[in-house]
Structure 1
Amino acid sequence: MKFFIVALILLIQACGPLWAQTPAPGPPDSPGMLTRLFDKARAAKENVETALDVVIDFAGEYYGEHIQPVVDNYRNWAAGMRTSAREKMHYYLPLFMPNTTDG
């Protein structure tokens, strides 16, 4: 048992400095690395803006070719109905109003 305790103490003394060591710091970031990172970020932003422009153009073309004609038909129909209803009201409303000028 004494041998085991002595061996354990020697092992702890031998491995203690290894556990206490911290890894060596890596090389510092060079300014070129940050510049490259900013360049990549700028390029990614430009790619996203280009893709967004393409999507907006596509949506505008689709709306102009497929949605706008249908909307115009319904808008014209609704305007015609409003005009027709207004004309009917101006014609029939006086017929139902009591004449208050005759005493």
Structure 2
Amino acid sequence: MGRCSALPFGITLFSSSVKHFGYIAGRRRLALNPYNSLPKPPVPKLEHTLSRYLEYADVVAGNNRGAFEKTKIAAKKFLADQQHLQEKLEKIAKHDENWVSF
């Protein structure tokens, strides 16, 4: 059996399974990784992400309109205050193969 690596939440990986996912000897990708030919995932706009979030929050809130209105206000505040996070994701996406798993 290969060497064991401990991860958060009590997950344990053996080196053989780590190799399967394209990570070996501290390198990010194996040269023969079949996923290298896939296109980079796009970074969705923050506005789009928040609108989708609010769609789901509306369903979850149900008849509790007060809670949903508070959520809408918080989402608008987040959009105004956290635009720099979107810019960081876009910068990461330019230089990394997959910003999602970064």
Give TM-score, length-normalised by structure 2.
0.29
User: Which structure: greater helix fraction?
Assistant: 1
Give TM-score, length-normalised by structure 1.
0.28
Larger Rg, first or second structure (1 or 2): 1
Higher relative contact order (CA 8 A, sep 6+): 2
